[in-house]
Amino acid sequence: MWPLMKNIIIILTVFLSGAFISSPAFAKAEAKKKKDSPVTINADRMQYLKNENCMVLEDNVVVKLDSKSLYADKVIAFQGTNSLGKMDFTRIVATGNVVIKDSDKSLYGKKGVWEKSKNVIRFTGEPVVKTKGGQEISAEIIKYNVITGKVTFEGGSKAHITNLKNKNIDFGGF
């Protein structure tokens, strides 16, 4: 009796977990939740420009986008109404030592522009991606998807690989 019950429990567990993981409705709800997650900004100095409907933040600026943190010397954060009709940040322009760190890579540039509608940060000004494995890839423009963590390169790009011990380098995350 117990072996049969144990098999039924295992089958139900696998079935139910598969239903939640592979369900398109579940995936859409998760993506929408991430897309609508609030943006928070901390800085040492802030100025609100009412006519431009934006905030200018300087010194030790940290922008929380989804579960990622973007660091910069200066940020101009534009506001608009979100899908719930509340005021929210719709576009952020970060300048000066712009950095965002992911679990396996860090992106650097002189300028980073984030558009909420696309959830992509567009790095310019000598942008570079540095992986934890020691690889560096630069391009004219580097785009980073805040939700998926995927990186794309535009214009001339070049790679610098310093970790020659690992001959099986995987650039699949880009």
Query: How confident is the model over 99-114, as pLDDT tens digits?
Result: 999 888 999 999 999 9
pTM for the whole structure: 0.71
- Cβ atoms of 43 and 61 closer than 8 Å: yes
Q: What is d(CA 6, CA 148) in angstroms, rounded to the nearest whole number?
A: 37
Helix-helix angle 24-35:2-22, to 10 degrees: 50
Residues 6+ apart with CB under 8 A from 125: 109, 110, 111
The SS3 of residue 157 is strand
Average confidence (pLDDT) over 64-69: 88
> Is 68 or 37 the better-scoring residue by pLDDT?
68
**Any idea what DSSP says for residue 53?**
T
